[in-house]
Chain A
């Protein structure tokens, strides 16, 4: 709130110091960033997606570079919900909003995860990962089928009173329909987008570059797609939207806010610059100052669409 600008935003009932969160799968369990900056200077983070039991990911190669982006097929490698609650969560400083991301192959698993995570006062909200593009079952199966998605959101809704976000896949025909489905099923907010399903080939070896063949494309390459989808979803639902997809700079983040996002998640940018989330949060504040906004929250939906 320094400089006279109120940076606070509210995302689906979660009070955030500023609108910048670390995105799930790119921010570890938070502690990995403590050498670089005080986590209390960003809004918070969405932790690496959790499963009921610890889970190993795919064999290497797991990542590859792509034009203005990267491909990954990690496959929800994580320490499991128990270790997260016992070992990781207590290490996060007070005042940092931690949103827990849930992943499973059946809606009952998601519901059990949400229930267990809701027992901790340190979990500020739940994000359903209905969109991981590179696991064989679960995740994207829910995100691409409206009736499965509705059932999943309903089951998790019954299991938790915490603010409930659903992270959507861009790999659908009509993203707004999926968002409305989540809203009707009781979601408090929509996070979008997850990675775009993609692949790449090494012509010398005539092999796919990833062991999983398919992966998820992330980074600036997908940002205009993400922005379009955030705009469409913001027009279609009343619940808040959290914008994700290739945000590298504060200007990128502001675009998502203008298109209707209440907050943003910074993902791939954390890899190349561990201070990215912090610098983006500070940059949004500067933008608000320069453009005469008293509150960062007023940037949400401030897109000027009258014809020039």
Chain B
């Protein structure tokens, strides 16, 4: 697959100290980690996070770390001790439950930054960012950087208002922010594509417009199809199970349009939607 992002910084493994870890309502949580010597990250890059606080005895159940988008913390640390990484996550199983129980001062294992992120938004372009569920977390930094360079619209969607992630942060950016909820408890009642479709119909310069989508696979596939029908480029940040995050377990392979597979952790997570064989994704 064509690589969409810039070269990533070298990853490292760090036992990072929890500075903050709190519920944001519903099952959504915000985690702030102190990550000494953090090299920074590109928008769209991710970390692997141990499923629970580290203890003297290595935890074996659950065994595998969880991939998490870097929500904020894309700038390299000004001084080694000042490295910070912020993560938005949703408690959806035992692993994320254990992460939510990590207290300030305890340590979580971080491996990262990993993957290839979004390419820089072109100046004077139009950027339409579409985030669904936890996918929102991959888009904040991209939105923050796009504001100064392009006309930026952000569509955030969730099942209910309580499930919406990062809404206040996005509201603080100078962007056109649209909200959709499936139950209508906030913003437009419906799916993110119900907001995206009219936006794309109004696009005057398709060649300088890009849709950036991250969320559940059916959502990204629908965004990709909508964008294609309007001759607009679509970049997606794929989510997948992975054991390592750095290209050795081969567990996160997705079917590639050119044949064979591509690793989400290595070629992605950001892909041009045309490079993915959507019909063969589970």
Give residues in A with beta carbon < 8 Å to B: 26-28, 32-33, 35-36, 56-57, 59-65, 67-70, 72, 74, 77, 211, 219-221, 248-249, 268, 270-275
Pick 19 A–B contacts, CB within 8 A, sort by A: A56-B261, A57-B261, A59-B255, A60-B240, A61-B241, A62-B251, A65-B62, A65-B64, A67-B61, A68-B60, A77-B253, A249-B58, A271-B248, A271-B249, A272-B64, A272-B243, A272-B244, A274-B246, A275-B13
Name the CB-closest residue of A to B256. Answer: A56
**A62 contacts which chain B residues (CB < 8 A)?**
250-253
**A72 contacts which chain B residues (CB < 8 A)?**
243, 249, 251
Q: A28-B247, A60-B281, A77-B261 are in contact. List 12 more A-B contacts (CB 8 A).
A: A27-B248, A57-B253, A60-B253, A62-B251, A62-B253, A63-B249, A63-B251, A72-B251, A219-B63, A271-B244, A272-B65, A272-B244
A223 to chain B, nearest CB (A): 9
* Interface bits B136-178 vs A (CB < 8 Å: 1, else 0): 0000000000000000000000000000000000000000000
**A275 contacts which chain B residues (CB < 8 A)?**
13
Q: Are A60 and B63 in contact (CB under 8 A)?
A: no
- Known contacts A36-B11, A57-B253, A60-B240, A272 near B63 by CB under 8 Å: yes
Total residue contacts A-B, CB cutoff 8 A:
101
**B241 contacts which chain A residues (CB < 8 A)?**
61, 63-64
Name the CB-closest residue of A to B57. Answer: A249
Q: Are A70 and B282 in contact (CB under 8 A)?
A: no
Name the CB-closest residue of A to B280. Answer: A59
Cα separation A271 to B244 with both chains bound (whole Å): 4
B78 interface residue (CB < 8 Å to A): no
Cα separation A273 to B62 with both chains bound (whole Å): 14
B100 interface residue (CB < 8 Å to A): no
B130 interface residue (CB < 8 Å to A): no
- Known contacts A59-B280, A63-B241, A272-B50, A70 near B63 by CB under 8 Å: yes
**B247 contacts which chain A residues (CB < 8 A)?**
28, 32
Q: Are B246 and A70 in contact (CB under 8 A)?
A: no
Q: Are A77 and B250 in contact (CB under 8 A)?
A: yes
Name the CB-closest residue of B to A272. Answer: B65
Q: Are B248 and A26 in contact (CB under 8 A)?
A: yes
- Known contacts A268-B63, A271-B243, A35 near B281 by CB under 8 Å: no
Q: Are B250 and A70 in contact (CB under 8 A)?
A: no
**B255 contacts which chain A residues (CB < 8 A)?**
59-60
Cα separation A105 to B281 with both chains bound (whole Å): 28
Q: Are B64 and A273 in contact (CB under 8 A)?
A: no
Q: Are A65 and B63 in contact (CB under 8 A)?
A: yes
B264 to chain A, nearest CB (A): 9
Cα separation A65 to B98 with both chains bound (whole Å): 15
| Cβ contact of B249, chosen from A26, A59, A60, A211, cutoff 8 A | A26
Name the CB-closest residue of B to A36. Answer: B13
B185 to chain A, nearest CB (A): 26
Q: Are A273 and B243 in contact (CB under 8 A)?
A: no
Q: Are A211 and B63 in contact (CB under 8 A)?
A: no
* Interface bits B1-24 vs A (CB < 8 Å: 1, else 0): 000000000111100000000000
Q: Are A273 and B13 in contact (CB under 8 A)?
A: yes
**A270 contacts which chain B residues (CB < 8 A)?**
244, 248
**A220 contacts which chain B residues (CB < 8 A)?**
60-61, 63
Cα separation A65 to B282 with both chains bound (whole Å): 17
Cα separation A70 to B282 with both chains bound (whole Å): 19
**A56 contacts which chain B residues (CB < 8 A)?**
260-261
Cα separation A249 to B10 with both chains bound (whole Å): 25
B277 to chain A, nearest CB (A): 10
**A221 contacts which chain B residues (CB < 8 A)?**
60
The 10 closest A-B pairs by CB, nearest first: A63-B251, A271-B244, A271-B243, A28-B248, A220-B60, A68-B60, A68-B61, A35-B10, A56-B260, A74-B250
Name the CB-closest residue of A to B242. Answer: A63
B252 to chain A, nearest CB (A): 8
Cα separation A32 to B247 with both chains bound (whole Å): 7
**A70 contacts which chain B residues (CB < 8 A)?**
63-64, 243
Q: Are B253 and A35 in contact (CB under 8 A)?
A: no
Cα separation A304 to B249 with both chains bound (whole Å): 37
* Interface bits B248-270 vs A (CB < 8 Å: 1, else 0): 11111111000011000000000
* Residue picked from B63, B242, B261, most chain A C-beta under 10 Å: B63
Name the CB-closest residue of A to B241. Answer: A63
B109 interface residue (CB < 8 Å to A): yes
Q: Are B12 and A35 in contact (CB under 8 A)?
A: yes
B249 to chain A, nearest CB (A): 5
| Cβ contact of B63, chosen from A36, A68, A74, cutoff 8 A | A68
Q: Are A274 and B111 in contact (CB under 8 A)?
A: yes
A234 to chain B, nearest CB (A): 25
**A272 contacts which chain B residues (CB < 8 A)?**
48, 50, 63-65, 109, 243-244
Name the CB-closest residue of B to A27. Answer: B248
* Residue picked from A26, A74, A268, A274, most chain B C-beta under 10 Å: A274
Q: Are A274 and B58 in contact (CB under 8 A)?
A: no
Cα separation A32 to B282 with both chains bound (whole Å): 27
Cα separation A64 to B252 with both chains bound (whole Å): 11
**A59 contacts which chain B residues (CB < 8 A)?**
255, 261, 280, 282
